[in-house]
Structure 1
Amino acid sequence: MRTSRRLFLSGASALAVAMVANAASAQDVIDDILKSSARGNWDDQFDARASEGGKVASTLPIFSLQTVAFTEQAVAQYQNIVAQGGWEEVPATKKLQLGVDDPDVVPLRKRLIIAGDLAQSAGISTSFDSYVDAAVKRFQTRHGLPADGAMGKYTYAAMNVSAQIRLGQLQTNLERLREKAGTLGSRYVLVDIPAAQIEAVENDRVVLRHTAIVGKIDRQTPVVNSKINEIIVNPYWNAPVSIVRKDIIPLMRKNPDYLKDSHIRLFAPDGSEVDPMNVDWSTDDAEKYRFRQDPGSGNAMASVKINFPSPDGVYMHDTPQQSLFGKMMRFDSSGCVRVQNVRDLVTWILRDTPGWDRQHFEATIKTGENTPVQVVNPVPVHFLYLSAWSTGPGVVQFRDDVYALDGAQELQITSAL
């Protein structure tokens, strides 16, 4: 955390020097962004991605050398924006949306033009027309927000982070990119924690992309660099002490049948099974027991667990709570990573493991039997923290700095609302 804050502050210092050096010669930032050919590229990429649904819309890995180059361009773009005075706040007093005519649309249009989301030719007016609607959706997409085109509280909050703060965020994350890009291997799994997104990468191309659920602010998913060496089909779930202490014991005090209803069995240190009715739940003595949930549809890990060595004891897994993947804020776990469409990822991981094609994998799930599988050619897995990057000329991505590692309080947007 201290390193990230130093990077942010050093970036701010560099910005001050750049502003003095560049202010006299900087071009009009609006013309610089919107009169370039990159504008058309952004339109094409946005429209293509909007129609792709859950498919891999871009095969560019987030931690690629090309991403580094694009992010360096984004830093230069935002230095220019800051040198020109940045952008004004958009009044967050109304839920502006398509069809509205309101004076507050004027500063909204200006803000969207400066960032390159709205073409300068759209002009400045009070009308929230289809051009503004599309521009707001572009902005929301770049910030990991639901692209509904409506100006709600999260969109306003993201839009009103200053250009200087965004520049510092880009510079901080550029250092993270430079450190890891091109070093992760030819075949690997990447979890970007702030984006709550997973990439399966092979030969510098994303072959699968998955929505993830990562750790809560008070139960953070750690940075991990390891290798996936085991898949467990129909896993047992052994509750970690933190969950026993914070969740299970309080639940048992309220509902003595909770363990039975959840198919969780209790075991003493010697391995013998213990009747929950013989435990004094008013004390913390229950922490000495092992809480194991049987395989099944109600299991906390559902059909599969992805294992790898980790000093923090984290892993990846399926979940019976599939609706959580549809949430905007997917920071809801106790540190492990839940994977949407996890069976696709596991099939890819087990590609080189004899006898474990998709058909056999699915058949094993149906048996309900706990089945460990050793992965032939273990696959590198990386949990990394990247909250700002660029995916192409003029296409700058920002995510909420959910764990407060970027050095500016203004970037913890969703946790503050």
Structure 2
Amino acid sequence: MAIMRCALVVIAAVPVPAMAQHESPLEALRSFERQAEWSDRFDATLPEVRAVNSTAPTLSPATLGRMQIAIEQYRTIAATGGWPTVNSPQKAMRLGTRDNAVRTLRRRLTISGDLVQIGGRDDVFDSYVAAAVRRFQMRHGLAPTGIVDQATLDAMNVPVYVRLGQLETNLGRIAEYSGKLDDRYVLVNIPAAEIEAVEHGRVRSRHTAVVGRIDRQSPILTSKIYEINFNPYWTVPVSIVRRDLIPKMKENPSYLKDQKIHIYRWGDETREYDYTEIDWNTDEATQYMFRQEPGELNSLGTVKINFHNMHQVYMHDTPQKSLFGEDARFHSSGCVRVQNVRELITWLVQGNGWDRAQVDAAIRSGQRLDVQLKRPTQVMFAYITAWVNADGVVHFRDDIYRKDGVETLALR
């Protein structure tokens, strides 16, 4: 039986973000109108925010031309002195803030093309500034709250020469990746922690992802998705037994029972062992196979996506849905967790004649089911920290694995 390397045994409680962070721009404005001192129409700025998103894929021959244009633009910004450092007052800047720091913030956002409307008092954080901040946050993979918090400040204060270096480095990556694409493929952009399902040059769906943390990195690879496992078992890899499961059992001997994990000898599932038969103060547990039953506690969630690779990684659902709401989604042991995985699965099994109802029924049954794809689909794990979408909007992400070769933003 192949070792499954990726899912984490420890299922920690993650706080759900405050509802205010999920307000739409219009909802945020309405909640503030009672205190506002101006009458700017916030909805007039929404087209600029929408332009950050695009149905065009990250990788394409057209992306290369847009990257070249962006590189020249950033070279010009660098040659004219770059952008100013933004120093926030003690409280995070937000709609209604009046401070000299807002003047600097406006200059910073104007230079990078996020702020177009420059009317009104230059020391007031008005609705146009809020829209520009949201646009900036979306371009940098941050929650679009419109509030200048510490993570937003950190991203704003990355020097222009660093961003230029990212663009130049990723130009070569995009050129290499774009030359290897099938007409139908799945792209996992590791630094963006995002997945695109692409067909005939258009993005059919985008999915937030959770990828490998810095000490257990998701690998760069190209392969073919050939199989979907519904309601899968999870066999705990030896590396996670050693690093996670043994310490957890020392803290809580009932952990295996609580998580519905059974103990067998490798290659022999005729006898189940009790946890008391293992010396947890040694590495003896690594000689056993630990298998988690299908169900809501299963670390793989309800479905697993298989593709051949030497790293023993895969894509899967997860019971920890709250992780998808975080800005920095680097929590796994190398595999990739997929938000709204049923939509991706439905697209993958279309060649088998399946629709969404059949996918939902297979999951709802709770029964183990392996489906071989009649139309295997290319999957690519890529490392792209800078790109330009079809509307010319430049995106940046943190160099989480330190592969860009330039000074980068400290990990949040």
Structure 1 ranges of 4+ moved more than 3 A: 42-50, 120-124
1:287 is aligned to 286
In structure 2, give the amino acid aligned to 1:330: R
Q: In the aligned structure 2, how far is the partner of 1:224 from the partner of 1:178?
A: 16
1:410 is aligned to 408
Indicate yes or no: 2:182 matched with 1:185: yes
In structure 2, give the amino acid aligned to 1:83: A
2:366 is aligned to 368
Q: In the aligned structure 2, how far is the partner of 1:93 from the partner of 1:67?
A: 38
In structure 2, give the amino acid aligned to 1:404: R
2:50 is aligned to 48
In structure 1, give the amino acid aligned to 2:85: E
2:325 is aligned to 326
- Which of 212, 216, 220 lines up with 1:215 in the alignment? 212
Deviation at 1:43? 6.0
1:347 is aligned to 346
Q: Percent identity?
A: 51
Determine if contact 2:83/2:108 at 8 Å carries over to the other structure.
yes
1:310-363 superposed Cα distances (whole Å, 9 cap, x missing partner): 111000001111111111111111110000110111111011114x33323222
TM-score by length of 1: 0.84
Q: In the aligned structure 1, how far is the partner of 2:241 from the partner of 2:47?
A: 46
- Which of 386, 398, 401 lines up with 1:400 in the alignment? 398
In structure 2, give the amino acid aligned to 1:371: L
1:106 is aligned to 103
Structure 2: gaps (5+ residues): 1-43
Q: In the aligned structure 1, how far is the partner of 2:104 from the partner of 2:388?
A: 25
In structure 2, give the amino acid aligned to 1:59: T
- Which of 62, 67, 71 lines up with 1:75 in the alignment? 71
SS at match of 2:312: coil
SS at match of 2:375: strand
| 1:230–1:74 CA distance, 2 compared to 1 (3 A) | same
Q: In the aligned structure 1, how far is the partner of 2:380 from the partner of 2:93?
A: 40
Aligned counterparts, 1:9-408, within 5 A: 45-48=47-50, 57-94=53-90, 95-119=92-116, 121-122=118-119, 125-271=122-268, 272-354=271-353, 356-392=354-390, 394-408=392-406
TM-score by length of 2: 0.85
Determine if contact 2:234/2:299 at 8 Å carries over to the other structure.
yes
Deviation at 1:393? 5.3
Determine if contact 1:98/1:128 at 8 Å carries over to the other structure.
yes
| 1:270–1:192 CA distance, 2 compared to 1 (3 A) | closer
Deviation at 1:60? 0.4
SS at match of 1:213: strand
Determine if contact 2:45/2:131 at 8 Å carries over to the other structure.
no
Q: In the aligned structure 2, how far is the partner of 1:379 from the partner of 1:120?
A: 45
1:28 is aligned to none
Deviation at 1:233? 0.5
| 1:213–1:43 CA distance, 2 compared to 1 (3 A) | same
SS at match of 2:389: strand
Q: In the aligned structure 2, how far is the partner of 1:245 from the partner of 1:130?
A: 52
Deviation at 1:410? 2.6
In structure 2, give the amino acid aligned to 1:91: N
In structure 1, give the amino acid aligned to 2:71: V
Which has the larger helix fraction? 1
SS at match of 1:383: strand
Structure 1: gaps (5+ residues): 1-41, 51-56
In structure 1, give the amino acid aligned to 2:126: D
1:31 is aligned to none
1:229-287 superposed Cα distances (whole Å, 9 cap, x missing partner): 11001100011112111111111111111111100011112414222111111100101
1:85-118 superposed Cα distances (whole Å, 9 cap, x missing partner): 1112111443111111111111111111111111
| 1:398–1:124 CA distance, 2 compared to 1 (3 A) | farther
SS at match of 1:409: coil
SS at match of 2:154: helix
Determine if contact 1:68/1:177 at 8 Å carries over to the other structure.
yes
Determine if contact 1:97/1:151 at 8 Å carries over to the other structure.
yes
Determine if contact 1:190/1:198 at 8 Å carries over to the other structure.
yes
Determine if contact 2:54/2:390 at 8 Å carries over to the other structure.
no
Q: In the aligned structure 2, how far is the partner of 1:45 from the partner of 1:190?
A: 27
2:9 is aligned to none
Aligned residues: 366
| 1:74–1:44 CA distance, 2 compared to 1 (3 A) | farther
Q: In the aligned structure 1, how far is the partner of 2:47 from the partner of 2:165?
A: 26
In structure 1, give the amino acid aligned to 2:293: D
1:21-51 superposed Cα distances (whole Å, 9 cap, x missing partner): xxxxxxxxxxxxxxxxxxxxx967534368x
1:358-416 superposed Cα distances (whole Å, 9 cap, x missing partner): 323222222212111111121110010101011145511011111111122333x3x2x
